C-alpha cells in the first residue's frame, strides 16, 4: 500500500476513534451513563495515541489525547472578559425574594414574568471560548473584568468537550467544582502525606484549577456545570433556551434546573431543594433565580455590581455551636495520629453530631483549640463535620490546652513526624490500632463487603487471639466464633458465609481493601481494569503505572513501595492460598446483563437485603446505581421511610418500584 493511501486510511481511522472516544466521554462524564468498560475505553485511547504518534501531522488540539499537556505552566496571564462576569445579589429568605420581584415590576409592570431556577454551586466561576468548534481559551472570573487564563488546566476536565459542532465564536460560562467523593479522597491523601487539608470543596476546586501542572489538575477529577451561552456575542431568546442549547452542544448542565411560571412555584422548589441538598454529590449554598426572557433581562439592566434580573437565595446555614468536652487520638490504618473532638451533641443537617475531626497538631495550634472551648462547627453534604472557629469571647478561663502525644496512645511506640509533614505516625506495623483499622477497612462495604464484621466483632477477634492479621479471617472456624460474645451458631454461620463470598470479589475490591496509601476506590478500579491480575500489578514499574490517567508520582511510588515490601508480598501469597480471586472480572464470563443501560436510585431501607446488596445485584445484571436523581434515572427503588427523593421522582416522572416489585424485577 502506498504511503499516501496509508496516511488517508489512518486519517479516517483517527476521525472514527476521536468520534467514538468523544461519544463515550460524553456518556460517562456528562450523562453519567457509561456504555463500555474502562478497559475498552482505554484500548480506544491507546489505539488513537499510537496512530497520532505514527502520523504526528494529523494531531490536532481538539483530539481527546490532548487533554493533559506534558509541560508545567509558567504562571497564568491575565485576560479581559468580552463582557463583565457580574456577581449576584444575595437574599436570605422568601420575603427578600418577594421584594426582588417587586423591584422588577416597578421597571416592567406589564410583563408576564417567568423564572429559571438553578442550583448555586459553591465552586469557581469560569468563562470558556470555542473558536470554529475548538476549545481556545478558558478564563477564571477574577474580579469580573479580568481573570486568569487557565486553558491548559480546564482542558483536563473530562465533562467539558474539547470540540463542539458550532461555527464562529462560542462563549460558555459556568462553575467548576469538586464532587464530594473527589474532595474526600484528595483531603485523605493530603492528610496522610502531612499536607494541610482543604477546608471545603470550593477551596479545593479553586486551588486545583490554579496549579501549574496540568497532570496534577487532571488527577483531582474536577467537574463543571454550564449555564450561560453567547453565540458570536449574541444570547439566546431566553435562559431556558440557553440551557437546552448548551446541552445539545454537548455541555453538562445541571439536571435540577427548572422553569417556573410564578414566584410561588420558585419558593416551593426552594423548600424542596433545602431538604435534597444533603443528598447531592456536590456542594450547593442556595439557588439562583433568573428572569427567563432575554429581552426582559435587557430592559431590567444591571447596577454597577449586580444584574437586576437575577438573584441568589441562600440556603439556611449548616452550622451550629457546641462545646468541646475532650480531645482524643485515633490511630488509623496507616499509623496516622488524628485528634478527634468529643462534642456536646448538636443537631446539624438532620443528624446528631457528637464528634469532629481536628485533622492534626498544627490545625489545633493554628486555631488555638482547647478542651472546654465553645466552637462553631460546619457540615457540608456528607463531608465529616469540622471546627470552623473558636468563640474565644466565651472562654471562662477553665479551658485546657491539648498536649499532642509523642508516643502512640495504643502501643506506646514513639511516634515519627517527617519534616515538612503535618501528620505524626505510629511506625509499629503490629500496633493493635493499625491492625484493627486495617481489618475494618478490608471488611468495609466498598472494599471486600463482609457484612457483619463490624467494630465490636473485630475487637473480639483481636482480643481473643483468633485473628492477628487479615488472612486469619479466612481460617476462622464455626467452633471458634461460637465462643465469642453474642455469636451463636446462626450468626457464626452467616459471618463465615460472608467471608467465603468475599473470596470471589473482583480484583478492584481487593486492591482497594489492601489499604495502599493514596489508592482510592476509583484508582483501584482503573488499576484492576488495566493490569487484569494482582501479579501483573505487583510487577508494574513506576513508568508503567504513571502511564494511567489517575496515577501520579505519589500514587505510583506508593504502589511500587508497597509491593517491594516482603511482608506485603507475603500477605498477597497468604490471600492467594486462602482462595481469594486475584484476577479482574473483565477476564471472566459476566453472563447475561438484562439491566444494561438502566440507572437506579435507592431510597429508604429494604427489608430483605441491605442497600449494598441491592447495589451489587443491580450492577451484576448490568445496571448502574447512582446516589442522586436526574431526568436520566430509570427507576427509584422505594424502601421503608423514603426521603426527599420520592417527591423528586414524582416531579421527574421516574418509575417507582416497591421492594416487592424490585425483587421481582431482579429475579426475573
pLDDT of 32 higher than 60: no
pLDDT of 69 higher than 90: no
| H-assigned helices in 286-360 | 294-300
**How is residue 504 written as a grid cell?**
470471589
Residue 238, classed as helix, strand or coil, is strand
Q: Which of 37-41, 182-186, 215-219 has the lowest mean pLDDT?
A: 37-41
Residues 6 or more apart whose CB falls under 8 angstroms from that of 424 comprise: 336, 337, 360, 361, 404, 415, 416, 417
- For the chain, the residue count is 668
CATH architecture under which domain 3-66 falls: Orthogonal Bundle (1.10)
CATH architecture under which domain 599-667 falls: 3-Layer(aba) Sandwich (3.40)
Equal CATH topology for 319-401 and 432-586: no
SS3 breakdown of the chain: % helix, strand, coil, rounded to 5? Answer: 40, 20, 40
pLDDT of 496 higher than 50: yes
pLDDT of 372 higher than 90: yes
* Beta sheet of 115-121, edge-to-edge order: 90-91, 310-314, 284-291, 115-121, 258-260
Superfamily of domain 319-401: Nucleic acid-binding proteins (2.40.50.140)
Confidence (pLDDT) at 74 = 54
Would you please indicate which residues are annotated as catalytic (active-site) residues? 120
Question: pLDDT tens-digit profile of 243-280?
Answer: 999 999 999 999 999 999 999 999 999 999 988 887 88
Residues 6 or more apart whose CB falls under 8 angstroms from that of 57 comprise: none
Residue 260 DSSP label: E
Cα–Cα dist 346/252, whole Å = 37
Question: pLDDT tens-digit profile of 451-478?
Answer: 999 999 999 999 999 999 999 999 999 9
Compute φ and ψ for 465, nearest 5 degrees.
Answer: 85, 5
Residue 560 DSSP label: H
- For the domain spanning 90-314, the CATH number is 3.30.470.30
Cα–Cα dist 194/107, whole Å = 56
Look-up: residue for cell 483530539? 63
Confidence (pLDDT) at 303 = 82
Closest CA to 150 of 209, 234, 206: 209
Report domain extents, the chain.
3-66, 90-314, 319-401, 432-586, 599-667
- For the domain spanning 432-586, the CATH number is 1.10.150.20
Bridge partners, 170 (sequence order): 130, 231
Question: pLDDT tens-digit profile of 584-611?
Answer: 764 444 455 788 878 898 888 787 777 7
616, 666 contact by CB (below 8 A): no
Confidence (pLDDT) at 668 = 63
284, 121 contact by CB (below 8 A): yes
Closest CA to 67 of 158, 150, 147, 142: 158
Cα–Cα dist 295/114, whole Å = 12
Closest CA to 628 of 455, 426, 381: 381
508, 527 contact by CB (below 8 A): yes
pLDDT of 569 higher than 70: yes
C-beta atoms surrounding 482 within 10 Å: 13
Cα–Cα dist 263/94, whole Å = 10
Per the model's pLDDT, the better-predicted residue between 98 and 552 turns out to be 98
Confidence (pLDDT) at 92 = 86
Residues 6 or more apart whose CB falls under 8 angstroms from that of 8 comprise: none
Amino acid at each position: 500500500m502506498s504511503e499516501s493511501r496509508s496516511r488517508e486510511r489512518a486519517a479516517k481511522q483517527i476521525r472514527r476513534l476521536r468520534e467514538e472516544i468523544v461519544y463515550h466521554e460524553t456518556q460517562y462524564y456528562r450523562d453519567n451513563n457509561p456504555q463500555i468498560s474502562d478497559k475498552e475505553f482505554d484500548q480506544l485511547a491507546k489505539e488513537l495515541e499510537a496512530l497520532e504518534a505514527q502520523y504526528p501531522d494529523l494531531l490536532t488540539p481538539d483530539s481527546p489525547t490532548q487533554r493533559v499537556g506534558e509541560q508545567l505552566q509558567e504562571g497564568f496571564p491575565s485576560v479581559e472578559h468580552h463582557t463583565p462576569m457580574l456577581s449576584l445579589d444575595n437574599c436570605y429568605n422568601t420575603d427578600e425574594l418577594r421584594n426582588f420581584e417587586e423591584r422588577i415590576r416597578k421597571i416592567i409592570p406589564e410583563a408576564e414574568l417567568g423564572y429559571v431556577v438553578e442550583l448555586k454551586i459553591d465552586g469557581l466561576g469560569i468563562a470558556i471560548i470555542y473558536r470554529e468548534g475548538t476549545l481556545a481559551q478558558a478564563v477564571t472570573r477574577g474580579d469580573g473584568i479580568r481573570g486568569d487564563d487557565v486553558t491548559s488546566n480546564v482542558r483536563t476536565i473530562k465533562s467539558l468537550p474539547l470540540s463542539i459542532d458550532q461555527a464562529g465564536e462560542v462563549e460558555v460560562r459556568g462553575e467548576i467544582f469538586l464532587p464530594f467523593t473527589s474532595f474526600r479522597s484528595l483531603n485523605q491523601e493530603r492528610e496522610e502525606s502531612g499536607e494541610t487539608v482543604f477546608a471545603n470543596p470550593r477551596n479545593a476546586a479553586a486551588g486545583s484549577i490554579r496549579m501549574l501542572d496540568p497532570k496534577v489538575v487532571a488527577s483531582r477529577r474536577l467537574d463543571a456545570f454550564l449555564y450561560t451561552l453567547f453565540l458570536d456575542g449574541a444570547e439566546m431568546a431566553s435562559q431556558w433556551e440557553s440551557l437546552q442549547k448548551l446541552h445539545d452542544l454537548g455541555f453538562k448542565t445541571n439536571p435540577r434546573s427548572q422553569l417556573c411560571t410564578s414566584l410561588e412555584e420558585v419558593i416551593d422548589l426552594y423548600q424542596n431543594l433545602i431538604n435534597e441538598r444533603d443528598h447531592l454529590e456536590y456542594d450547593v449554598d442556595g439557588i439562583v433565580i433568573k428572569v427567563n426572557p432575554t429581552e426582559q433581562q435587557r430592559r431590567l439592566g444591571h447596577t454597577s455590581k449586580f444584574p437586576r434580573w437575577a438573584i441568589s437565595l441562600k440556603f439556611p446555614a449548616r452550622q451550629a455551636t457546641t462545646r468541646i468536652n475532650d480531645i482524643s487520638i485515633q490511630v488509623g490504618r496507616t499509623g496516622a495520629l488524628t485528634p478527634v473532638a468529643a462534642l456536646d451533641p448538636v443537631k446539624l443537617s438532620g443528624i446528631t453530631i457528637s464528634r469532629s475531626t481536628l485533622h492534626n497538631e498544627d490545625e489545633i495550634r493554628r486555631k488555638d483549640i482547647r478542651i472546654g472551648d465553645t466552637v462553631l462547627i460546619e457540615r457540608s453534604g456528607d463531608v465529616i463535620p469540622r471546627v470552623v472557629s473558636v468563640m474565644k469571647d466565651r472562654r471562662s478561663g477553665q479551658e485546657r490546652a491539648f498536649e499532642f502525644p509523642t508516643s502512640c496512645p495504643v502501643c506506646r511506640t514513639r511516634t515519627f513526624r517527617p519534616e515538612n509533614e503535618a501528620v505524626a505516625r505510629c511506625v509499629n506495623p503490629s500496633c493493635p490500632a493499625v491492625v484493627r483499622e486495617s481489618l475494618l477497612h478490608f471488611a468495609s462495604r466498598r472494599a471486600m463487603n463482609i457484612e457483619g464484621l463490624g467494630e465490636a466483632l473485630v475487637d473480639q477477634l483481636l482480643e481473643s487471639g483468633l485473628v492477628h492479621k487479615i488472612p486469619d479471617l479466612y481460617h476462622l472456624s464455626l467452633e471458634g466464633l461460637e465462643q465469642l460474645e453474642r455469636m451463636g451458631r446462626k450468626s457464626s454461620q452467616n459471618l463465615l458465609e460472608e467471608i467465603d463470598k468475599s473470596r470471589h470479589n473482583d480484583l478492584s475490591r481487593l486492591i482497594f481493601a489492601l489499604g495502599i496509601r493514596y489508592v482510592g476506590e476509583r484508582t483501584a478500579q482503573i488499576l484492576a481494569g488495566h493490569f487484569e491480575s494482582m501479579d501483573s500489578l505487583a510487577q508494574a514499574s513506576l513508568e508503567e503505572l504513571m502511564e494511567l490517567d489517575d496515577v501520579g508520582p505519589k500514587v505510583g511510588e506508593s504502589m511500587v513501595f508497597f509491593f517491594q515490601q516482603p511482608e506485603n508480598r507475603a500477605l498477597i501469597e497468604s490471600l492467594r492460598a486462602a482462595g481469594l480471586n486475584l484476577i479482574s472480572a473483565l477476564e471472566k464470563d459476566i453472563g447475561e446483563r438484562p439491566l444494561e443501560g438502566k440507572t437506579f436510585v435507592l431510597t429508604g431501607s429494604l427489608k430483605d437485603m441491605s442497600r449494598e446488596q441491592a447495589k451489587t445485584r443491580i450492577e451484576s445484571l448490568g445496571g448502574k446505581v447512582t446516589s442522586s436523581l436526574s431526568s436520566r434515572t430509570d427507576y427509584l427503588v422505594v424502601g421503608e421511610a423514603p426521603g426527599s427523593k420520592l417527591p423528586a421522582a414524582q416531579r421527574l416522572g421516574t418509575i417507582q418500584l416497591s421492594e416487592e416489585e424490585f425483587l421481582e424485577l431482579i429475579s426475573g
